[in-house]
Amino acid sequence: MRIKLLRALFGCMILIFPFSLFSAEIELVSGDKFLGKLVSEDERSYLFRFQDKDYRIPKSELERFDKDKNGSDFSIGLSKVRLRNQSIIVGYLIEEDQDRLILQSQLGFINVEKSKIEKSELNREKNFPPPKKYLVSSLESLNTFLGLGYGIYRSPNLDITLNQLYLNLEPHI
């Protein structure tokens, strides 16, 4: 009776707590930022889902990784502005109108009058995908490692025997 109860409880837990994806923000060395879902992580890379596609991004090619960010899939590129006084502002273009720009930099939000700009490299594109070199091919996603195990547990103090059968599927790189 207890074994059936434990099996039913375990089965319900699998249905209630399916494999979950957590929101995360990555920033590439190029400065491009992507907000998407973290699928998995290993010692060398992150498997990152953005706009329903999976990307394997090496940790060595990331400037920053933040698991505390929440939201739907979004991307933004880095912009550079050189002012007439030779100051350079590097940040993300948040807003632009006829007379001014608002950039988000490491110092915070900066309001820049267009009349004070000497040269600008503005990245106006939003929601673009990560570079194709990180895209996981359908063949790689099908290449899996299959593990099968069986365990028996018998309690010396209680009259309970627990038999387990589990299946483990992992991406194989």
**Residue 34 exposed, middle or buried by CB count within 10 Å (0-12, 13-18, 19+):** buried
Distance in angstroms (rounded) separating the CA atoms of residues 105 and 73: 21
Taking only the tens place, the pLDDT of each residue in 106-135 is 889 999 999 999 998 988 888 899 999 999
Domains of the chain (ranges; CATH) run: 2-76+126-143 (2.30.30.100), 78-124 (2.30.30.100)
Per residue in 47-78, pLDDT (tens digit) is 999 998 999 999 999 999 888 888 888 899 99
* Total-model pTM: 0.64
